[in-house]
A = this chain, B = another copy of it.
């Protein structure tokens, strides 16, 4: 992690599930069934605990034991000032910049599976390589996000396909919890997650933000 990113992005790692339209559509049928009955009306959030923190060019340990490991390419929004109950119109004033997050996870077949166990293994949240100031990103909602595994494109999408854009996420979250300077909002992973194996090289590229590289190690 670059020094600037390391010094700034020290807070809570807060993830948003189902924030790509393609992914939400895939789950709509499931949401019609009990016990949900309807799609979520508010952002579905999850936490990556501090033990998950990892960085550019570092190893991510495959869990082994017959478990599957999936990268989670995402745009990271680094909060610059404490935020409580801001409007969407003001939200971007509180952002320090953007970075790349690879939010590794075990696959989750249902929302009932314990998400912490799937998402909070040691090293499961790579962040980097740089903190890019907001001024350098004209529009955070027109960025191409690409996952490469061993040099091949395995996922590609655009932040234009967010269900909720960055200002709306910040407004809806800060309505009930204070976001602090240094917190990182993980804005969601697109549909089409793939499995990776030990020895694999995993790269997430986002236009204007560079490329975050990680190496999958055997347990």
Contacts and interface: CB of A to CB of B under 8 A. Distances in A.
A46 B116 contact: yes
Contact of A51 (B46, B116, B121, B180): B180
A3 interface: no
Contacts of A42: 114, 117
Contacts of A44: 114
A192 to B, nearest CB: 21
Nearest to A45: B116
A195 to B, nearest CB: 18
Interface string A24-49: 00000010011110001011111101
Given A34-B34, A45-B117, A116-B46, A51 B110 contact: no
Given A33-B35, A40-B114, A121 B49 contact: no
A120 B33 contact: no
Contact of A110 (B36, B47, B52, B179): B36
Interface residues of A, number: 35
A63 B176 contact: yes
A52 to B, nearest CB: 8
A74 B99 CA distance: 38
A195 B36 CA distance: 24
Given A33-B35, A34-B34, A35-B33, A51 B112 contact: no
12 contacts: A12-B49, A12-B51, A34-B34, A35-B110, A35-B111, A42-B114, A46-B116, A50-B180, A51-B180, A52-B177, A111-B111, A116-B177
In order of increasing CB-CB distance, the 5 nearest A-B pairs are A45-B116, A47-B47, A35-B110, A51-B178, A36-B112
Given A14-B49, A36-B112, A40-B112, 18 more contacts: A11-B50, A14-B116, A33-B34, A35-B35, A35-B110, A35-B111, A44-B114, A45-B114, A45-B117, A46-B116, A49-B177, A50-B180, A63-B176, A84-B122, A117-B176, A120-B177, A122-B177, A122-B178
